[in-house]
Amino acid sequence: MMRTLIGILSANRSKTASSAEINKTGDGTSAKSPAAEKSPPVVAPPTNPVPAKPLKRAVVQAPVLAVDSGSDAPGADAVLIKAQPAANKEQCVFMVNRPLFAGHSWWFPNFESAEGSALAEALFSVDGVESVLVHDSTVTVTRVDKSATDWLPLAREVGAAIRGVLGCGAPVIAEKVVRGMPSEQNIRADIQRVIDTEVNPGVAGHGGRIALIGVKGNAVTIQMGGGCQGCSAADVTLKMGIRNSFRKAVPMVGAIYDETDHAAGLNPYFSRG
């Protein structure tokens, strides 16, 4: 009986040893069962995945009026015109697909000043036009009725007048204007003199100053600073004071642009649209 019990215990030890040998790897370490291995953590997909490419910013374009080209299927030589009203609603810029006064500009304050310039003469024949500015391939028209908001009816008449003049080959700008155009350097020197001797002394009392930013052809760009930047009367100052001083002292000056960021002034009189 005792011999039989010893045999059973010996057999059990052999089975245990064999099982241990099976659970060891070749290097003598114990192998883990598949169930004992930890599963990799599950990562939830992001709720707002990052796009592969950055999204493009939406650009809001200013409204452009459709001005009839005069043909259902315009050819390569057709006169194409786009009209874009200015923010002040008093003016509208007409962009033509060809130069009108290449590299230069000319301002026509009334019909009398348009003598010999076929384009301005035709535009002043349109009812409601107050003044005309021709610059390179653009025409800026100021209308008489400052309270009107819809430019489309007048824009179509202006577009037809521009197309008619360009179609007949008449001189857009009078020859006397073209011949008498001074050099860019002379205009720069004359405008700077007016700023130093007339304009800045006049606005200095209000803490303002005017700087000449650039001259291209006979077009002048200025910038207001100090008390003039953001002043509610800055527009009147530019129209009635600075422009008049420039044109009186330098009759051949054309377009006069203001690049001041008035919205950044202390008292902005307009905001960016």
Domain definitions of the chain by residue range: 65-70+78-179, 184-264
Alpha-carbon dihedral 47, 53, 57, 59, rounded to 10 degrees? -130
> Exposed, middle or buried, 62 (CB in 10 Å: 0-12/13-18/19+)?
exposed
Please count the residues of the chain.
Answer: 273
Say which CATH topology domain 184-264 has.
GMP Synthetase; Chain A, domain 3 (3.30.300)
The superfamily CATH assigns to domain 65-70+78-179 is: Scaffold protein Nfu/NifU, N-terminal domain (3.30.1370.70)
Which residue, 246, 240, 244, 257, is CA-closest to 136? Answer: 257
Kindly give the confidence (pLDDT) of every residue in the chain, 273 residues in length, as a single tens digit, with 9 standing for 90 and above.
444 444 444 445 444 444 444 444 445 454 454 444 555 555 555 555 555 554 443 434 456 776 655 555 566 688 999 999 998 889 999 999 999 999 999 999 999 999 999 999 999 999 999 999 999 999 999 999 999 989 999 999 999 999 999 999 899 999 999 999 999 999 999 999 999 999 999 888 778 889 999 999 999 999 988 755 555 555 555 556 888 899 999 999 999 998 886 554 443 333 233
Give the Cβ contact number of residue 96 at 10 Å: 21
pTM of the model: 0.68
